[in-house]
Structure formats: structure tokens, C-alpha cells
Amino acid sequence: MSANGDLPGELPGGCLCGAVRFVVTERPMGVVNCHCSQCRRFHGHFGAYITVPRASVRFDGDATLTWYRSSAKAQRGFCGTCGSSLFWQGDGEALVDVAAGSLDQPTGLATVRHIQVASKPDYYEITDSLEQFPESAPEPP
Amino acid sequence: MTEKTTWTGGCLCGGVRYEIGTKPSSISLCHCGQCRRQHSHVGAYTGFPRDAFRMVKEETLAWYQSSEKARRGFCSRCGSGLFWEAMGEPTLDVTAGSLDESTELRARRHIWVEFKGDWYDIGDDGLPRLTSAERLAEKQGQGGNS
């Protein structure tokens, strides 16, 4: 794709059963893969997230959206009907993380980095050349 | 070194816990559209004979009928993706990420690769890549799921 001319301006998305539907109205810079143990349990493999302002996520359907307090400072959102793992929301933060796989194709996005790689499990290797952070990292530029 | 004989696992909140009494298969990384939506990236599954499986705790387990022939199990409290079960098949699949460490298992291949999301490349990891047609042909040859 050339420049940003061909990219969709908005990113629609939702869960497997379609009960949760939303539109992300602001394009993120890229996708971050999180190898922490919480993402691994939640997603069943590592997490892949975009980070956008909360105000840029507009819900068209959220009746089955369920929140789980996964730590003292954050919640994870999923669909209570189909179990799709959708959001990570830090308490009081202006940003929200949206799981990349919930976005409709094509996204026109690219993966930019790996975080929490010190927590990666033993059953896979990271074989690409993207930058890696042992723990957290600053938000993508 | 004692050889591992039991694999344990469960969800993020601990509402679902299970035990597998045999070594599960190597892990398939599934790029299909359903795994993409439910796991929100790539599905990672390992399979084993159903009679080797024991549910230790299932108070929050929920099932979603994801197709005519299969259902997906997840925790209704914390949302963790846990199981893929095809009706009438002698095997059960669990997500690799739900297994307790260390798993002593390896990712062995990619499947349903033509459906992968556009934001990542599978990369040069040396693992075989099967299209959906190749995977389905393989299953017919095996007479079951893996």
C-alpha cells in the first residue's frame, strides 16, 4: 500500500459471535506482541494489541462485553457469549489496548515490537527481527 | 531427571483447572479466522486422547458452539480461551497458553495459513505451513483430529 492513502481510516472490529462490535476511529502506529503470563492464559497464546485513546473506541454492540479485574490496576474485557478476548484497560488511563485479532480484515497494520519477553513460555521462539523488551516498554511512537 | 507424566493447566482466574495424564501432541499454531477472533491473534493448540483428560475444576467453564461440528470452551469469569472440541472425535484440544509451565512441548507447525491476519508475517521459523485444504486432507487420512 502506498503511504496512508489506501488504508482504512477507521478500524471496525468485534468478537467471534458478533455480539460485541466496535469501531476504532483513530489509527494506531502498530501492533505490540505481549508475552506475559496473563496474556498467555487470557488469549491461550501470546497477546497482540494496538493502543488507542479510549475515546476513539465507539461501541455498536456491547451487551455481552464482560470485564475481569486481572490485577490491582487493570481489567480485561471479553465476550461472555463466545469467549473472545478483546481489551486490556488500565485503571484511570486515557488509553485502551484492543486485541489485534478482533479487528476486521484488512487492517493495514504491522507488528512493531515484542514486550514482556522475559516471561515467554517454553513452547515457541520469537524468530523475527523486531525489537524486544524484557518487560514493559514505552507506548509505540 | 524425572520424566514428566502429567500436564496441568487452567484459566487466568483459576476457576477452571484440568489435568492431562499423557504427553500431548506438539503444538499447532492455527491462523484460521475463528481462532483469530476468539484468541485475538493466533490459536495455539495441543491435542490428546479424550480419556487422558480429567477436569479438576470447572465451576466457571462455558462453551460456545463455534460451528456445526465443534465448540470452544472458555472461562466465563476471566475470559480465558481453553478448549476446542469436535463433536464425536476421540481427541480434545487445549490451548498451549493455558498449560502450566514448563510445558516441555514445542510448536511444530502452522495450519490454516491462508487465513492469517495481515498485521504479521509467520516469519522464518522453519516450521511446516499447511493450508486449510492440506490440513483437512491430513485429518481425513488420520480419521480424526489432532
CB pairs under 8 A between A and B: 172
DSSP A44: S
Distance from CA of B134 to the nearest CA of A (A): 23
Q: Do B95 and A125 touch (CB under 8 A)?
A: no
- Domain contains A26: yes
pLDDT at B1 over 80: no
For residue A140, is it within any domain? no
Distance from CA of B27 to the nearest CA of A (A): 8
The pLDDT-based confidence of A5 (bands split at 50, 70, 90) is low
Region B39-45: mean pLDDT is 98
Q: Give me the sheet containing B107-111, strands edge to edge.
A: B61-65, B70-75, B81-86, B91-95, B43-49, B27-30, B107-111, B129-130
* Mean pLDDT, rounded, for A80-102: 97
Residue A25: inside a domain: yes
Tell me the three cell numbers of residue A90.
488500565
Residue A9 or residue B51, greater confidence: B51
**Integer angstrom CA distances of residue A28 from A11, A51, A100:** 10, 6, 11
Residue A83 lies in a domain: yes
Residue A131 lies in a domain: no
Task: Flag whether A99 is in a domain.
Answer: yes
Position A139 scores a pLDDT of: 64
CA distance B84 to chain A (A): 11
pLDDT given for residue A9 in this prediction: 85
Question: Which chain A positions have a beta carbon within 8 Å of B27's beta carbon?
Answer: 123-124
Domains within chain B, CATH numbers bracketed: 7-142 (2.170.150.70)
ipTM value, please give it: 0.93
Half-sphere exposure of A125 (CA within 13 A, CB side): 11
pLDDT in tens, B72-130: 999 999 999 999 999 999 999 999 999 999 999 999 999 999 999 999 999 889 999 99
Say whether B119 and A43 touch across the interface (CB within 8 A). Answer: no
Q: Is A72 exposed, middle or buried (0-12, 13-18, 19+ CB in 10 A)?
A: exposed
**Facing B43 at nearest CB: one of A33, A44, A77:** A44
In this prediction, residue B145 has a pLDDT band, given cuts at 50, 70 and 90, of very low
The CATH number covering residue A24 comes to 2.170.150.70
Q: What is the mean pLDDT of chain B?
A: 94
Q: Residue A68 is part of which domain span?
A: 11-120
Q: Is residue A5 part of a domain?
A: no
Q: Cβ–Cβ of B119/A82 closer than 8 Å?
A: no
Q: Which of B35, B34, B33, B21 is nearest to B97 (CA)?
A: B35
B138 pLDDT above the threshold of 90: no
- Cβ contacts of B106 on chain A, cutoff 8 Å: 123-124
**Per the domain annotation, does A67 fall within a domain?**
yes
**pLDDT of A1 above 60:** no
Nearest to A83 among B38, B98, B101 (CB): B38
Taking only the tens place, the pLDDT of each residue in A50-79 is 999 999 999 999 999 999 999 999 999 999
Sorted by sequence, the CB contacts under 8 Å of residue B140 that are 6+ apart come out as none
Structural domains in chain A (count): 1
pTM score above 0.95: no
- Please give the mean pLDDT across all residues of chain A: 93
How close does chain B come to A22, measured CA to CA in Å?
A: 13
